[in-house]
Amino acid sequence: MERPRHQGMAKNTNMRWRLPLVCLLWEVAMIVLFGVFVRFGPEADAHWEEEKRELNLTSDMENDFYFRYPSFQDVHVMIFVGFGFLMTFLKRYGFGAVGFNFLLAAFGIQWALLMQGWFHSFKNGKILIGVENLINADFCVGSVCIAFGAILGKTSPIQLLVMTLFQVTLFSVNEYILLNLLHVKDAGGSMTIHTFGAYFGLTVTRILYRPNLEQSKDKQGSVYHSDLFAMIGTLYLWMYWPSFNSAISEHGDAQHRSAINTYCSLAACVLTTMAFSSMLQKKGKLDMVHIQNATLAGGVAVGTSAEMMLTPYGSLIVGSISGIVSTVGYVYFTPFLESRLHIQDTCGIHNLHAMPGLIGGIVGAITAAAATEDVYGKEGFIKAFDFTGMYQTRTPSVQGGFQAAGIVVSLLMAFVGGAIVGGILKLPIWGDAAAENCFEDEVYWEVPEDEESDVYHMHNPDKPASP
Amino acid sequence: MERPRHQGMAKNTNMRWRLPLVCLLWEVAMIVLFGVFVRFGPEADAHWEEEKRELNLTSDMENDFYFRYPSFQDVHVMIFVGFGFLMTFLKRYGFGAVGFNFLLAAFGIQWALLMQGWFHSFKNGKILIGVENLINADFCVGSVCIAFGAILGKTSPIQLLVMTLFQVTLFSVNEYILLNLLHVKDAGGSMTIHTFGAYFGLTVTRILYRPNLEQSKDKQGSVYHSDLFAMIGTLYLWMYWPSFNSAISEHGDAQHRSAINTYCSLAACVLTTMAFSSMLQKKGKLDMVHIQNATLAGGVAVGTSAEMMLTPYGSLIVGSISGIVSTVGYVYFTPFLESRLHIQDTCGIHNLHAMPGLIGGIVGAITAAAATEDVYGKEGFIKAFDFTGMYQTRTPSVQGGFQAAGIVVSLLMAFVGGAIVGGILKLPIWGDAAAENCFEDEVYWEVPEDEESDVYHMHNPDKPASP
Amino acid sequence: MERPRHQGMAKNTNMRWRLPLVCLLWEVAMIVLFGVFVRFGPEADAHWEEEKRELNLTSDMENDFYFRYPSFQDVHVMIFVGFGFLMTFLKRYGFGAVGFNFLLAAFGIQWALLMQGWFHSFKNGKILIGVENLINADFCVGSVCIAFGAILGKTSPIQLLVMTLFQVTLFSVNEYILLNLLHVKDAGGSMTIHTFGAYFGLTVTRILYRPNLEQSKDKQGSVYHSDLFAMIGTLYLWMYWPSFNSAISEHGDAQHRSAINTYCSLAACVLTTMAFSSMLQKKGKLDMVHIQNATLAGGVAVGTSAEMMLTPYGSLIVGSISGIVSTVGYVYFTPFLESRLHIQDTCGIHNLHAMPGLIGGIVGAITAAAATEDVYGKEGFIKAFDFTGMYQTRTPSVQGGFQAAGIVVSLLMAFVGGAIVGGILKLPIWGDAAAENCFEDEVYWEVPEDEESDVYHMHNPDKPASP
């Protein structure tokens, strides 16, 4: 093992002080803010026995924990294993994919608990948290994981943390506007998570455009086993997506319905993805990039409407269409975005999240506008759209209009926010790698030696493997 | 990277139009049939509030969703990650294993929702679905995944879709005969899923016998990391099997008991598998094939009886025996089946599903026949075997007889159905690979280049790795 | 493939008869003991309908199964996939890591059901088991998995089984002393699982000290993909740890609170781990060893206090500190332990489990001592610490004292027990590998050929890859 290590790889990006400093200072800030603001909600507090008596609950089963904890754990897996491993497809960026996703999500959920807490769970000067807050924090971070997909391999961990800080903030504002001001329904986050997250990320990567990125072109591909690692991510996202879309729906029929709709949509999406993946290749061979990503579009595209009476066949239609759109996107739009619009989208989030997210918003608006008391039942209708209090007189078509407005707001927030945050990330102080070192773990990670030499060998086919 | 790609690999199997056509046409058929037939069941419908009042339910917790959703998700993981990754052990067929499993299961669950719906959930011209239907659809597809194991690496994706179409149909008929006509208990599917699925697959692979399969012998093995990927599949199947066997049992004690029995049986199975794996090798070394597969036989073998009063020690006994039978099968029966009976069983489903499935059916029959009111309690006895209505007077020993009849029916359905479907799959129109291209992803998938060259190198040890 | 296999590797460790014998005899013993002692508890027994009437329960939902089964499955995944894959980081010991962990855990849960059953679920001569027993058995085995981490790669499967037999026994005694005699709270097992398990394992590895271990130094590292496999283990441990710490807490607020505290602690731990991992490397690069392990310390460190009113910010503080301690441990303590104290700790369990376990015990003692009726509410206070019956008059500060005593007892049990068991394992009859064959799967496993030749090549850089 005396072969010299690849020179130039070891470029010092000066993470040594900056990354620790950011991590530690921010964690201290979290501790202080949590100390001032965050407390257990009534269902997690030791006063629960009194609460139970007051609310006349006869069983501990009525604790929200039991309604939502299994879904929470599924969502948790999606964020950390799902997104983390989905991005390990790159041959030399597996550590960065799964490790940086871990880092940004772990910071993001803390900050999201605060931001979303101030907007939604703030009582008497305290944020009262329970399992639903944990799910919502994971959701919020999901939008950051999506944006991470666009800039994967091209940014430093500090840039990712800075982006997380801002994106979580903007996410929470956007979510507040949609859910509270526009009174929009979006339980699975087609608009708040996917549309916002994806267009935010795409705008950021546009601002961070690297003209010389083809210098690391050889590292942008996958190897056999990295594609299998990525399939772990894909399958966990796919399997648990019914939990994602139903996790914060109303107890009872709404959670049940969301899961069924999402299950159907995803199943259909797999078939149309396979069909178009084969059809659009010269030799009819399937492309792992499509299978890894476009099969998930069906989950994104029913994110708004899954808890509505979309019906199983409606879900099949939406899932089928989104699989097609997403696969076509990978074949035609991604190269176009890169060459013409200078949008370098590493994971193709435009195809997996942006377009299906828009479809999801639109389908949600239509499904809401088409709702009738006949289909939902009198009580079910009011419950499904929360047409109570000041929204008592809102009609389905008006609701549909507000849903559509929610898409526009999410897009605006994404473009404006992404531009500003992209500008901040462009500052030359964050330690990002040179173009020829993109998609390369060795810049930020200690990488085991022997594999390094493999790569070394791979890139120098004219040199003998062993002297 | 200018080395020429391996010639002959690129054989065009004409998937380009046929696969898309089948996928798209069938998905359209699903949409139409779902549109005509499938609606939400009362617990997923927005009229749930009225339903609740009618049934006098006081809490949303009584929605079946909360009784079964966690088990459903576990079963879902078993079908897609469990079976998918279990089959990635082949060094060059990981994409096909996990990808085709994904494809056939995604189609299969849609078709199963219809087929099983017509038989079991049909009311006033509509199929009303809820979480239990999703579980049953996954179960049904599980039997296809099992059959896939026998023909893994030797069939085209179109053949797999055709097989899925027919097998799901036959499964549903067989299930109807067993559960409704014979009034047999089989919650974990020892008979309906494993015995039927395995003998169906073995019959199909017998019909599709390839005399020249040794031409791809070099690709039938595993590599170090492919064996680890396969262990992901194994462990998820093993860990979640208690959910599998309890997922559709009656609420309360039956679900609870099924989980415990399965947990015990699987634990015992691991020890006897390890024992025999070591004992049957010359040097006493353990064989990953056994650990990956035979450790699961304990779950199969209590599939019928887990919800009965099998007792924990009974489970240990069944699990121990099935681990032994399965491991012995891998060492002695699989080579025998191939050389003498011309049954080429890629994954050894005869050892993992067929024989343990038979054991499961027999143990179920015995456990049912041995049931007494003393052990079950008066109410528990009636509830456990559903001895109500026209079955009010059935005795345990008669029930045991019907259970045994269920095994025979499943076997007949598997042999006859497998022979017919095998014959259909033998038609030379489905684009299967030549014998020398079996177990090779490159026939149907875009495979990353660098690994290809590794394999190229591997197969030509007399050529230098680098020119 | 005619290159000769690596000589010396094939050393016969005489597993062929010894391993099967131990496995089979012990399994027979389990069957006999289960037959004599183990029966279904009332919630899993077919008499449940009568039980329900007696306890005046109106719904099957009140069955403990529905309160704990989702958490049980998460814990189950942690034991088998979490610990199993966490240890696959070694380049040539993946089979042993995941396979032996599988073996010892499968045996351990059976023996734990008995041992813990005799102490905690023994009624009228029978051990009555339900889902909580399954969780506790998994917990108990968790402590063995931890100890396995210290001796990973250096012991034979028989040694592991012998250790499991003794450690489960000692665990159960220690647990009985803590929970029943000292009336200590330790739902997430900071003391019973982590402190005991880790110091037990460290003592065993000290006794088994191998002075020539540097002979297999080249195999003690990781390769690129083995590090990714290990991250699967890490993430599943990390994600499901909230389930681990809440799995056996009281129904309602306690389970809810445990999950939230653990979620917060783990999130904070990731940031401080990343900070210190970067800070302590010369070039500021992150080390996968830290990310794989130290990020989990936050879960260990709130194992005792998570179900108490630790508060979210308290959890952040504990998590932050434990991440720092653990990372610093990997950098400075592990080399010190090896060179000075002759403690060869393969996975660094001293950093991940021992020190954070101690922190967890201490934090638990302080949190208990600081409890007030004001914070918990009158009822909540009594319920949280079970201050009923003979403990009616125990004060928080006294409880804190007993909690501290629990740490001391666990340590003593670990040191004394570990020394004795280590002595037994040192007997030259268990077939452990020679020093130069440590961390090498080929000693106990059939390993696929082609990868072997890779390794062969790797170890002989002065030989050409291909003749």
pLDDT in tens, A57-104: 989 999 999 999 999 999 999 999 999 999 999 999 999 999 999 999
Q: Is 60 exceeded by the pLDDT of residue B370?
A: yes
The pLDDT of residue A1: 31
- Least confident residue range of A307-311, B287-291, B447-451: B447-451
Whose tokens are 């995604």? That residue is: B106
- Least confident residue range of A182-186, B14-18, B26-30, B228-232: B14-18
Whose tokens are 């189950």? That residue is: C76
Q: Do C99 and B231 touch (CB under 8 A)?
A: yes
Alpha-carbon Rg for chain A, nearest whole angstrom, is: 23
Total structural domains within chain B: 1
Q: Do A19 and C274 touch (CB under 8 A)?
A: yes
Asked whether residue B167 is domain-assigned, the answer is yes
The pLDDT of residue C7: 39
Q: Which residue intervals of C307-349 are DSSP H helices?
A: 312-328, 334-341, 349
Tokens matching residue C215:
């002979």
Cβ-based contacts of C13 with chain B (< 8 Å): 284
- Enclosing H/E stretch for A385: helix A378-385
pTM above 0.90, yes or no: yes
- Closest residue to C66, CB basis, from B67, B269, B379: B67
Cβ pair A323, A295 in contact under 8 A: yes
Asked whether residue B310 is domain-assigned, the answer is yes
For chain B, the average pLDDT equals 92
Asked whether residue A29 is domain-assigned, the answer is no
Closest residue on chain A to B138 (Cα): A263
Q: Do A238 and B80 touch (CB under 8 A)?
A: yes
Return the SS3 of A260: helix
Nearest to C321 by CA among C276, C278, C370, C366: C276
- DSSP per position, A303-350: TTTTTTT--HHHHHHHHHHHHHHHHHIIIIIHHHHHHHH----TT-HI
Q: Between vectors from CA A379 to CA A373 and to CA A384, what angle results, nearest 5°? A: 80
Asked whether residue C307 is domain-assigned, the answer is yes
- Closest residue to C379, CB basis, from A35, A49, A131: A49
Whose tokens are 């990635």? That residue is: B88
Domain around A171: 69-428
pLDDT band at A449 (very low <50, low <70, confident <90, very high): confident
Q: Is 70 exceeded by the pLDDT of residue B231?
A: yes
pLDDT band at A223 (very low <50, low <70, confident <90, very high): very high
DSSP state of B160: H
List, as ranges, residues 54-113 from C with C-beta within 8 Å of A. Answer: 59, 61-62, 66-67, 70-71, 74, 91
Cβ-based contacts of C44 with chain B (< 8 Å): 253, 256-257, 260
Cβ neighbours for A253, distance < 8 A, ≥ 6 positions apart? A380, B43, B44, B45, B46, B47, B48, B49, B63
* Residue C331 C-alpha, separation from nearest chain A C-alpha, in angstroms: 14
In angstroms, the CA A437 to CA A457 distance is 17
Mean pLDDT, to the nearest integer, of B376-387?
Answer: 94
Closest residue on chain A to C68 (Cα): A66
Asked whether residue A113 is domain-assigned, the answer is yes
Cβ pair B93, B439 in contact under 8 A: yes
List, as ranges, residues 233-262 from B with C-beta within 8 Å of A. Answer: none
The pLDDT of residue B15: 72
Beta-bridge mates of residue C445: B286
> Hey, CA dihedral for A236, A242, A245, A246, is it positive or negative?
negative
User: Is C446's Cβ below 8 Å from some Cβ in B?
Assistant: yes
The pLDDT of residue B392: 92
Chains in contact with B, where contact requires at least 3 CB pairs less than 8 Å apart: A, C
- Enclosing H/E stretch for C462: none
* Residue B61 C-alpha, separation from nearest chain C C-alpha, in angstroms: 8
C90 Ramachandran zone, left/alpha/beta (phi>0; psi -120 to 50): beta
DSSP state of B39: E
The pLDDT of residue C429: 83
Over residues C70-96, the pLDDT tens digits come to 999 999 999 999 999 999 999 999 999
pLDDT band at B457 (very low <50, low <70, confident <90, very high): very low
- The residue count of chain A comes to 467
Asked whether residue B325 is domain-assigned, the answer is yes
For chain A, the average pLDDT equals 92
DSSP state of B461: T
The pLDDT of residue C458: 35
Cβ pair B251, C52 in contact under 8 A: no
Q: Best interface-test mutation with B: which of C37, C48, C441 has the largest number of B CBs within 10 A?
A: C48
Mean pLDDT, to the nearest integer, of A348-376?
Answer: 97
Q: What is the CATH number of the domain that holds B364?
A: 1.10.3430.10
Tokens matching residue B176:
């109807």
- Enclosing H/E stretch for C39: strand C38-40
Size of interface A-C (CB pairs under 8 A): 243
Helix axis angle, B64-77 relative to A253-279, nearest 10°?
Answer: 30
In angstroms, the CA C51 to CA B321 distance is 34
The pLDDT of residue C450: 56
Over residues B31-66, the pLDDT tens digits come to 999 999 999 999 999 999 999 999 999 899 999 999
Size of interface B-C (CB pairs under 8 A): 245
In angstroms, the CA B297 to CA B267 distance is 11
Q: What is the mean pLDDT of each successive set of 10 residues along chain C, which is 467 residues long?
A: 38 74 97 98 95 93 96 98 97 96 98 98 96 98 98 96 98 98 97 98 97 90 95 98 97 97 98 96 92 97 97 97 98 94 96 98 97 94 94 95 98 98 92 88 87 38 37
The pLDDT of residue C13: 61
Q: Between vectors from CA A259 to CA A257 and to CA A260, what angle results, nearest 5°? A: 65
Asked whether residue C127 is domain-assigned, the answer is yes
Cβ pair C196, C410 in contact under 8 A: yes
List, as ranges, residues 111-150 from B with C-beta within 8 Å of C. Answer: none
Q: Do A31 and C313 touch (CB under 8 A)?
A: yes
Cβ neighbours for C28, distance < 8 A, ≥ 6 positions apart? none
Nearest to B31 by CA among A92, C256, A271, A89: A271
For chain C, the average pLDDT equals 92
Asked whether residue C462 is domain-assigned, the answer is no
Whose tokens are 């798209």? That residue is: B24
List, as ranges, residues 362-421 from C with C-beta within 8 Å of A. Answer: 375-377, 379-381, 383-384
User: Is B178's Cβ below 8 Å from some Cβ in C?
Assistant: no
Tokens matching residue A118:
């101030």
Cβ-based contacts of C439 with chain B (< 8 Å): none
Q: Best interface-test mutation with C: which of B256, B293, B388 has the largest number of C CBs within 10 A?
A: B256
pLDDT band at A13 (very low <50, low <70, confident <90, very high): low
List, as ranges, residues 324-363 from C with C-beta within 8 Å of A. Answer: none
In angstroms, the CA A325 to CA A272 distance is 9
Mean pLDDT, to the nearest integer, of B393-410?
Answer: 96
- Closest residue to B49, CB basis, from A295, A312, A377: A377
Mean pLDDT, to the nearest integer, of A259-263?
Answer: 98
Closest residue on chain A to C371 (Cα): A46
Q: Of all residues in chain A, what percent are helix, strand and coil, respectively (each to 5)?
A: 70, 0, 25
